[in-house]
Amino acid sequence: MAYSLPYFKFRKSLEREIRDYWSIAIAADFSNSWLNQFDSEKRITQVAENIPPYSYVDIKCSDYVKQLSTVIEHSRENALVNFITAFEVYLFEILSRIVYLRPENLANSEMKFDAKEIVSGLENSKDFKLWFSDASTDKTVRNKQHTEIIARIAKMAKCDLKPMNSVIEEWNKWTYVRNAIVHSGRRVSSDLKNIWQSKFPTLGAKLNIPDNEIMKVQSIAMAIAKHLENRINKTIIDFEDASLLVRELFARNGIDDINQLKRILQKNISYRAKKQQIEKALSFQRKAGSVITEMNFDGFINEVDIT
With contact defined as beta carbons under 8 Å apart, do 244 and 284 qualify? no
Weakest mean pLDDT among 227-231, 245-249, 295-299: 295-299
pLDDT digits (tens, 9 = 90+) for 269-289: 999 999 999 999 999 999 888
Phi first, then psi, for residue 206 (nearest 5°) are -65, 155
Say yes or no to pLDDT of 42 above 80. yes
pLDDT of residue 109: 80
Judged against a pLDDT cut of 80, whether residue 290 lies above it is answered with no
Give the Cβ contact number of residue 252 at 10 Å: 14
CB-based burial label for 254 (10 Å; 0-12, 13-18, 19+) = exposed
Contact yes or no for 194/178 (Cβ under 8 A)? no
pTM of the model: 0.93
CA 273 – CA 189 distance, rounded (Å): 49
Average pLDDT over residues 48-76: 94
**N-terminal to C-terminal alpha carbon distance within the chain:** 21
Looking at 125-271, list the stretches that DSSP marks H as alpha helix, in order from N- to C-terminal side: 128-141, 146-157, 165-183, 190-195, 211-232, 240-253, 258-269
- What is the predicted pLDDT for the residue at 20? 96
> What are 178-210's pLDDT values in tens digits?
999 999 999 999 999 999 999 999 999 999 999
- Give percent of the chain with pLDDT exceeding 90: 85
